[in-house]
Structures are given as structure tokens and as C-alpha cells.
Structure 1
Amino acid sequence: MTTTMPAPETTVTPPVPRRRLIRFGGVQLMHLYTWLIIGWLILPILVMILFGFNNPSGRYNQTWQGFTLKWYGQLFALEDLTSALILSLVIAIAASVISAALGTGIGYALGRHRFRGAGGMNLIMFATMSSPELVMGASLLTLFVSLGVGLGPLTITIAHVMFSISFVATVVRARVLTLDRSLEEAAADLGANAWTTFWKVTFPIILPAVFSGFMLAFALSVDDFVVTNFTAGTSVTFPLWIWGATRVGLPPQVNVMGTLIFAAGVLIAVLTSIRSRPRRQTG
């Protein structure tokens, strides 16, 4: 009797669907597009950093003529530029602190409570953020002149607070909307009043959002030119000084100061990112 052995089964690999190939190519294309955009955005910053090491023959830094580190040692050699930078930093700190204090309260109220006028408040905030700076600067100038307020550092600070509050409130409101209310309810069950609950429970949770709003307000204040130009009077901030110096050429100290400000911002962002990472529990 002859026994017929069954033929071994052969595994046939199905062809890769065409959709998967197209999908894979689309992902790679998006990665390439993203890196191109990042490179385009960071290119002016790299040029600024590079020209901070330039060694021009004259005072102004227009063409590359050699490598040097001397401008980091002569960072504060130009007194008017140093004064403009100090004024910008002082105004930015004051405006950021005031904006963070006021914007945190507004953002918390809009994110936690439902009250009459909340929709109008949201509309005003987004209108402030989306309105052209030219319109805001001209309107604030008209307001200060009508009230007889002399233009100077005080009016610049008020103007910067006016457009920074909305950004802080929006960031804080977004965090409050995702806040777990059971934590506050637990604090209330343990006998804490509303004020104690806010400072002991709520505020530490929303503190990263408050800090983010503070840093955003600080960056907007240091960078602002249009509104500051309307409300500065005879005061000269860092952006106004740079605008005036572009008519003849920028000294290398401007690039050095810009590089240091950028490096400080990157350092703060990295430290904040590291601190916000979830900690591993060891047991």
C-alpha cells in the first residue's frame, strides 16, 4: 500500500498594498516639509549668531570680514544701546508681572465660572490679540494725549500690559478647562475654604500655565516695536534703537545681545521641559 505524503504548505507573502506605499511616502514628505520649515525659521537666527563673531573693519557690521570674540568682551561699549536694552528689560519685567497677575485672574474666571458677560470678555480678548498693532498703537496714543499723560516708560508699560493680558488669560483659561475639579472638592471636604483651596491646590497646578503666560508676555514686550513707537515719546527701547541704527548699519553688539537673549530663552525652555517630565517612581 502506497502512502501519499501531503505536499508541504508554502507561505505566500501578500503584496504590500499600494495605499501603504503611498502613505509611507506621504509621511516622509511631511517630515521633509517640517524640517524645511524649521530650517527656514531658524536661518535668520543663525545669521544673527554668526555675525556676532564678525570682525568688521569699521564700526558697523554689514559684511563678513573675519572671526573674533572681542564683541562679547565689549558688549556694553555703546552706552545708548545698553541704556535701550536695560529700559526694554525693565519694561518687559514690569509688564509681564502685571499681565500675569491680571491675566491669571481673568483666565481662571473664564475657565471655571459661567457668568453674564463671559462671551463678551472672550470676544474682547481675541479681538485684542487679532487686531493690528497699528490700530492699537494709534488708539493708545490718542487716549494718552486726550488724558494729558506724558509719553514715556510708564505709557509703554501700560500699552504692553494692554495687549499682553489677553495672551496670559488665554493660556491660563486653557489649563483651567482641563483641571480636575475633584481635587478642589477633596480640599473643600477636608475643611479648606475657597481662598486656601486656590492657593494650596489650584494655583500650584496651573502654575506652569501662568509661567508660560508670563514668558509669552515678556517676549512680546521685548520684541514689540509698533505699539512702542506710538507710546514711547522720547524714550528709546531696544527695538527702537535697532530701527534707528539700521539706516547706517548695525554694530556687532546688537547681534551679540540678540544671541544672548535667544540663548536665555532656549535655556529656560529646556529647563522647563525637563522639569515638566513625569518622574520615574523607584520602589
Structure 2
Amino acid sequence: MVIKIEMLRCFTTVAQHGSLSDAADVLGRTPSAVSMMLKQFEDHVGSQLFETARKSRLTPIGDLIYEEARREVAHFENTISVIQGLSKSELGYLRLAVTPSVATAIMPSVIYRFCKKYPEVQIDIRDMDSAAIARDLEHERADIGIGTLPKIEGMNRIELFSDPFGVVCRKDHSLAKNWDQLSWQDMHEHVLIANGLCDLITDPDFKPILERSRLMVPNTASLMGLVREGVGITVLPHLAVTGPQENIAFLPLRNATARRTVHLVSQPQNILMPAAREFLKLITFMMREGVLGIKT
């Protein structure tokens, strides 16, 4: 018997919901039909995938198979989305994965120009951290990624821009009084709210400050909320603090070299869909012309 995508979808849905009846509701099938398909799948792999008949707990082999099945189902569903996008538009379907600061400060002007030229293209933009962008690119869940990204085998990578790190605090914070003389040493007596980008800073004077931090907040919106409330200060790249920020100040650091480099990563041109190729042309043109709206 050949393993079909419906078997994988059935198995992953039951594993996610922990019961046949709930999975049946999601899949639009009867519980008996779901149970029969699961039995066929278990017979094919030659192992029991659930510890009990209630399907609430996976066996060890079930856990391993679940991870592979989940990835395959996600890939299949993404492929279907692409096919549907191709049928709806002239150039196809464009999937972008970008960091929140890029989504806020850069994407609006680029997307405006792109949509004006190609109004029929279906676009999916997701903002996430750089590690998640890299995973989406590797698993073919995104056509183009923009963030602080490593080299990924088989993909093209160009440097889009870099921006300096600075201290982010309330405008009435004591550090904001003499901001033009601010250095790492001035931060020692203040509460630092760390974030995922802090790991990019290699300045030796920052290391002991980061080590003493007892707060770690990866989400930028939550991070800014804590800073705004006066819980502490943080360190972010300049672009992450652009736009209107009520009661928030970005303070450049004197004699500091720390910068965040943002890359654009994509599949090779010859296998990209037309929409993705046209988007790459547009954003690289805007970068060369200096009209991406980046002030660093």
C-alpha cells in the first residue's frame, strides 16, 4: 500500500487534537472513517502510533513519525497554496518572511510599488524572528526572506543594509539627559531587558551587562511595552525603533561598533516563480537607488 497524503493529514490531525472525534470534526469525516485510515497507516508502517485507544498519547515511534508527517503535510499545503495562487494571478503567488522592523519600516513602500505594477499577484507576508525565517526558507515555506540570516546551502544571499545598535529607553530616563556621551559603561547601573538581537553584539564591554540581565523578551512589541512602562532599558538596532514611538528614545552609543546586518535570501533565480523574481528586481533596484527608506 502506498502512503497517501490523506493518511498523513489524518494521523497529524488526530495527534494534534488528541481524540478521534475532534479530529473527525476538523477533517469533515466520521470518527469510524478516521479510525480506519489510522489503522491502515499503522499497518503500513508496522508499528502502533498511539499508546491507547483514546489516541491521547503518541508512542515513541509515533512521536518520530509525527514530526516527519507534520513537515510533509505543511509542505503539501504550501504547494497547494502556490498552485492556487498561480491560477489566480498573472505572475503567481509571493511568500515573504521578514523581521518585524523590516515589515514596519521597509515593506510598505516596496509593497506599494510592487502592487501598483502587479496588482493581480497574491502576496503573503509574515513577520517573525530571523531564526524562524531561516527555517521557513529551508522548508520552502517562503520564497524570499529578509533578516539577519546565515548562508543557506543552495540559496542566494545579499546584504541589504546594516544599522547601528543603540540604547532604547523612556524619554525621561536619566540616560537620555547626556545621550551624546553615552557608552556601554553608563548602562551598568540600569536594568537591561535582553532580546534575541543582543547576541549579535560582540563588543566586550557589553558582555558583562548582558550576563547580569534577568529579563529576556524576544517579542519587540512586548519589549517596547516594558521599556515604555519603565521596567528597564534595552538595546536594539536603529531600524527597530523608527516611526512614531510615544515616550521612547533611541540613543546612539559613543565609540561603539555594534551593528545589525540584514540580508535578503532567496532561492536561485531560475527556480523562483515570476512574482518572486520581479519582487527581487524591485527591491534591489530600490536599494541601489537609495529609496528603501533606510536611514542608518
Scaled by the length of structure 2, the TM-score of the pair is 0.23
Q: Which has the higher contact order (CA 8 A, sep 6+)?
A: 1
**Between Structure 1 and Structure 2, which shows a larger proportion of helix residues?**
1
Which one has the largest radius of gyration?
1
